[in-house]
Amino acid sequence: MAYWLNHQGETRRSQRKARIDRVSSQLKDLYGPLLVLTETNEKAWTEYCRSYILPIGVGPAEFPLSELEEARWRTWVEAVFAPTAQKIREIITARGDLIIGGEMPPVVLEFCAHAATYDALLANWDGADPSKSTLIRHPGRSFLTYVRESYGSLKAEQATLLKAARETGRTDFNQSAH
C-alpha cells in the first residue's frame, strides 16, 4: 500500500512539474516576448497617430501624403513597424508549438499574414500604391487583446501551480519528518 501511495504521489508531482515547465516555457519563450513587442508596437503606433495623423473626419481620407509625411511614414515603417512585426512573426513561427489550445488562433494567423506583406511593401516601396500600406491589414486591437489575455491567464495558472507545488512540498516535508 505504501509503495502504491508513494507511486501515486510521485506521478502527481511529475505531472505537476511537467505542467509548470510547460506554462513557464509558454511565458518565457512565446507570450512574454509577444507581450513586450505588441505593447511596444501599440505604444509606438498610438504616438505616431497622435503626433502625425489628422483626427478622423479632418481632411480628405484619400489626400496624398506630402513629401515630408511620406518620408516620415517610410522611416516609421522601416525602423519601427515592419521590424517589430517581423520579430513577432518569427517568434510565432519558431515557438508556435507553445500556443494555448489545439489550434492556431485566427487572429494570430491574421497578424502573421499582415507581417508577411511588409516584405513586399519594403521591396517595392517606390512602386507601391499611394497609401504605402501593407496589402493585408493589421488585425487591430484583437491581436493585442489576445496576447494580453493569454499572458494573463498563463501567469495566473503559473501562480496557482507554483502555490500548489509549495504547499505540497511543505506537506511532503511534514510527513517525512514524522
Give pLDDT tens digits for 53-65.
Answer: 865 544 444 567 7
Here the cell at position 96 is: 508556435
d(CA 74, CA 68): 10
| Side chain identity at residue 79, one-letter code | A
135-145 average pLDDT score:
93
Here the cell at position 70 is: 511620406
Q: What is the pLDDT of residue 63?
A: 62
d(CA 30, CA 120): 26
d(CA 60, CA 55): 11
pTM: 0.81
